[in-house]
Chains A and B, each alone.
Chain A
């Protein structure tokens, strides 16, 4: 029983900790590997990706290998795997594979070639639209979560208003008053920047004090914008805008992106709010590390997981939305094929040529399903705590 101070200072040789040296990535792969559905999703996703890239190269150019818009009126509505009737076709009309892998449509166009072309459209729409929405979402959510406590002052609002209305007027050909407003606004900004360090010391006169009163916090402002955006029925809004804008695939991407960033904003904000309170961020602040370094080096990596998951699932729904739009006849102008307009073209022949409905329909289903399964798998693997629940 001689447990006294000497034992305390005695040098202990502690054994190596026995916990396995597993990086987060390895752990992620281990968890992800156990989810067979998610692996399947990933494989299909990779396959789809390759098809889309191949589709881009095989169906574009002046003399494409698979020509999606070549019309063979003699060969319309041929079922899949059927051989072309070589007597009726000119040599350049013979399909590349020597048979119609997926049949032909009502104009005798090769559905396989059209599906390949459509794959690229779906892929780009999915990725670009989600890219836009994730960028906006991270930006807005990050600002709301990190700088949310800051207040926007009345003068900020005023000069933004001036700036916007000035630009608007100039754009609307009211150059004179527009330019005047812009100049006024610029002058005010310059004035503020110049007097910035001086005004700190001086007591404000009353009208300036009023200009500097707090109006709304950044957080409130951004969340109200999110609320406003959520009020629009999204498919209807997309439809309206796409109908007004000239038909183009890029417009669709942009519009889908611009109308789907609210979810990302919300949870990036939530993530940032909770990360802000954590010790490592406080420590980084105490060390005098700059805001942007804290955001990008310390907080972003932690917020990346949920963003990634929602982006994957967002791609799935963007593909669905695009298909819906081209089904209704919006978006990509006619000669170009998308999965949605192949299906919509085939709907008049559902009993005579069901493959025109089933091939694009099932393809969309499989691709969207793979993204959804992959996304859920990611969510489980990135967040082991939630595994028990979902």
Chain B
């Protein structure tokens, strides 16, 4: 791995939520990295800990009940988890920005769009009022909002869902961050808007050469935009690799299941595959491999031993020793 090319790397992150006597292990030893100018996708079912991982990068996990137990998040040579709140404020919005899952509720209803976009710039950059306004207009234009001059004075409720998500993206872009974390930015929107937003991300990246960490549960989106992919299951990374490797050569039963459950033309008329069972409750995960109750390749050792990461070469790793041995790889 070319170290100098690395923008952010998360190592062994563990985030637990305590509620009363139960402890939900939402993120349980996750490691991933994003290189410069790269689009990385994290895919996984609802509740597997994607949002929590992203929030921990920005230090935004609500601290009671949540707690970052372990891990390092290295960004620009420093461990973000050790920074003070003040130092984190300089990073948030400025170097790392985030677009949230729910565009409908993520904008403050009592401030105008213009206020909310310019706020981040005002905090992080020294900039005059006139150029600030110009910058806001340009940002809105960049994200494809028509008549941006008028929109500045609008309140969020006057915008459609897609437009609000564009405003969120404009807010994230406002300080030209190095990394944008987009947490399922299109889930709440309809399909055509989804396509437009995806296109927008592509265009932004080409123009501004920033890295994007794109969180989604939609493999179709992954295929469209990702350079590299992390597949997450119940708080762990099940498999990682570039898009080609994941889609053509999946090595983890969960990834295989996900791919098999994708509808496609060639499967017309046949019954769609669905992974049996359901995602475990993060507070009561099974011992051993969290996927084993649903796994078609389950071996006795699966229910006792936590699976090791198995290296298939060229950055393709999967957390399933059983399939690894089947294929004749040996460590």
Contacts and interface: CB of A to CB of B under 8 A. Distances in A.
State if A and B touch, Cβ cutoff 8 Å. yes
Contacts, number: 41
Contacts of A15: 286, 293, 303
Contact of A14 (B281, B283, B293): B293
Interface in B208-266: 250, 256-257, 259-260
A14 B294 contact: yes
Contacts of A8: 271, 273-274
Contacts of A20: 284
Contact of A3 (B20, B256, B286, B303): B256
A18 B280 contact: yes
A166 B306 CA distance: 82
A10 B298 CA distance: 13
B293 A10 contact: no
Contacts of B277: 12, 14
A7 B296 contact: yes
Contacts of B283: 19
Nearest to B293: A15
Contacts of B328: none
Contacts of A12: 276-277, 294, 296
B21 interface: yes
A264 B320 CA distance: 57
A18 B280 CA distance: 8
Contact of B20 (A10, A19, A30): A30
Contacts of A31: 20
Interface size for chain B: under 10, 10 to 19, 20 to 34, or 35 or more residues?
A: 20 to 34
Interface residues of A, number: 15
Contacts of A231: none
A5 B294 contact: no
Contacts of B271: 5, 8
Contacts of A34: 20
B273 A19 contact: no
Contacts of B285: 18
Nearest to B257: A3
Interface centre among A3, A10, A31, by most chain B C-beta atoms within 10 angstroms, is A3
Contact of A5 (B270, B284, B296): B270
Interface string A11-49: 010110011100000000011001000000000000000
Contact of A19 (B259, B281, B296): B281
Interface string A317-328: 000000000000
A194 interface: no
A interface secondary structure, majority: loop
A14 B281 CA distance: 15
A377 to B, nearest CB: 14
Contact of A10 (B21, B274, B284, B296): B296
A31 B19 CA distance: 10
Contacts of A3: 256-257, 259-260, 273, 296
A378 B266 CA distance: 57
Interface in A210-238: none
A34 B20 CA distance: 9
Nearest to B284: A18
A8 B261 CA distance: 11
B286 A30 contact: no
Given A5-B270, A8-B273, A18 B281 contact: yes
A19 B293 CA distance: 14
A5 B260 CA distance: 10
A287 interface: no
A1 interface: yes
Contact of B284 (A1, A14, A19, A30): A19
A16 to B, nearest CB: 9
A15 B294 CA distance: 9
Which of A15, A19, A34 counts the most B-chain CB atoms under 10 A from its CB?
A: A15
Centre residue among A7, A19, A30, A31 by max chain B CB count within 10 A: A7
A8 B285 CA distance: 24
Interface in B272-313: 273-274, 276-277, 280-281, 283-286, 293-294, 296, 303
A8 B277 CA distance: 12
A18 B294 CA distance: 13
A31 B70 CA distance: 28
A1 B255 CA distance: 11
A372 to B, nearest CB: 23
Nearest to B297: A7
Interface in B132-168: none
Contacts of A19: 281, 283-284
22 contacts: A1-B256, A3-B259, A3-B273, A3-B296, A5-B270, A8-B271, A8-B274, A10-B296, A12-B276, A12-B296, A14-B276, A14-B277, A15-B293, A15-B303, A18-B281, A18-B284, A18-B286, A20-B284, A30-B20, A30-B21, A31-B20, A34-B20
Given A5-B270, A18-B280, A30-B21, 7 more contacts: A1-B250, A3-B256, A3-B259, A8-B271, A12-B296, A18-B286, A30-B20
Q: List the 6 shortest-distance A-B pairs measured between CB atoms, nearest first.
A: A18-B284, A15-B293, A3-B260, A12-B276, A19-B284, A14-B277
